[in-house]
Amino acid sequence: MEQCTSCNIEVTQDYTTFKCPKCGKAKIIRCNRCKSTSKPYKCPECNFIGP
Ligand SMILES: [Zn+2]
Ligand SMILES: [Zn+2]
């Protein structure tokens, strides 16, 4: 089960995953709600914070 990186809810569908734009290692997962509200996320690998 995957969890949103921003709010930690479990995501099943309607979510986005991408690699951290800074380190390129961590997988960022954002639920649809955090995506639409542009909630910030924090990379677990390098602590990069970004929208
Ligand atoms: Zn979320
Ligand atoms: Zn990173």
| pLDDT the model gives residue 51 | 85
Which residue is listed with tokens 């995953």?
17
Give 9 Cα–ligand 1 centroid separation in angstroms. 6
**Residue positions counted in the chain:** 51
Domain range list for the chain: 2-50
Which of 23, 32, 15, 33 has the alpha carbon at shortest distance from 42? 23
**What is the average pLDDT across 10-25?**
95
CB-proximal residues (5 Å) to ion ligand 1 = 4, 6-7, 31, 34
pTM of the model: 0.87
Percent of the chain with pLDDT over 90: 92
